[in-house]
Amino acid sequence: MESQQKVIKKRGFTLNLTLDPYNRRVRVDDYLGDFTKCVEEAQKAVAGIAADKLIFKARKENFSQLISRGFLLEGVLDHYFSGSDCYFFVKYFQDERRSSGKWAEEDLILQGVLSLQPKNESLLPPVGYIARKAKQEDAEQLVKFYRKVFDVYPVPIEDPQYIKKCMESGTVFYIYEFEGQIVSSASAEVNTKYHNAEITDCATLPEHRQFGLIKLLISQLEDDLASNEIYCVYSIARALSFGMNAAFYQLGYEYRGRLANNCFIFDKIEDMNLWVKNNS
């Protein structure tokens, strides 16, 4: 079930929401005006789709107001709002959505990641691997590729029309091909209004993971984004994935928090780590 962006304009405020029934959550992406009414309207939206998690991308000036309303701070995105920080506040509406059974294990994984030495070298893969920017004509093959990697994913990436729609709205995909087949892919969802982008949809087929293809694709995405004045780059990575978190850390991203039971990915709902980088 695809998420839906919704803009609510009423007397005194405007609210930009993402309604995500598949992941049983509502996210406030932007807001303006009467803050109390914004919070009230967001909580109505939660009830409207029977969600059990509300995510609020908040500005610094509303920090105390959200704390006083029972919201919890789970992470921070440096420079998200055209240079100003974004605070990921959440409210849970079911006890089981708040509780994570893997938190201690994820802490150990993060500890291991943060103990790694940063790698500055940009090694190229062996001959035969070709990197390029994906086009709409690649949508069908991208779908086949992602189906090989993910049993469950938080967005309908198994639908070629969804991928084409993402590309039309500004999402950039970079891929590696080997013998004419996509073996690695990553994308960037671009927010031109606030000059930020989320690195997402990162995946490599198991038999090609020894060459660091994802890190190379992310670096290419960063160059593409910087040339288009996108200076805040961030990603939300599976907290249980040592390799993906290590890739961001070694590329210079900084850890900024963990989103509990954030979305369905691989085979269950999972906690996600927040990573951010200044791309200037």
Q: What is the pLDDT of residues 147-166, one digit of tens each?
A: 888 877 777 777 899 899 99
Residue where a domain stops, chosen among 51, 67, 98: 98
Say yes or no: 68 and 201 in one domain: no
Say yes or no: 143 and 254 in one domain: yes
Q: Which residues contact 25 (CB under 8 A, 6 or more apart)?
A: 51, 52, 53, 54, 55, 262, 263
The model's pLDDT over 82-132, given as tens digits with 9 standing for 90+, comes to 999 999 999 999 999 999 999 999 999 999 999 998 766 667 888 999 999
Say yes or no: 94 and 140 in one domain: no
Say yes or no: 144 and 268 in one domain: yes
**What per-residue confidence (pLDDT) applies to 117?**
86
Say yes or no: 139 and 252 in one domain: yes
Residue where a domain stops, chosen among 70, 98, 126: 98
In CATH, what number is assigned to the domain containing residue 16? 3.40.630.30
203, β-bridge pairs: 185
Helix (H) or strand (E) holding 268: strand 268-278
Task: Examine the pLDDT at 58 and tell me if it is beyond 70.
Answer: yes
Structure tokens at 174: 């970079």
Say yes or no: 43 and 133 in one domain: no
Structure tokens at 162: 């969804």
- pTM equals 0.92
CB neighbours of residue 107 within 10 Å = 12
Give the range of the structural domain holding residue 24, as residue numbers without chain letter. 4-98
The residue whose two tokens read 């709902």 is: 269
Say yes or no: 123 and 74 in one domain: no
Residue where a domain stops, chosen among 59, 81, 98: 98
Say yes or no: 114 and 231 in one domain: yes
Cα(136)–Cα(22) distance, rounded to whole angstroms?
A: 25
Say yes or no: 124 and 94 in one domain: no
Count how many domains the chain has.
2
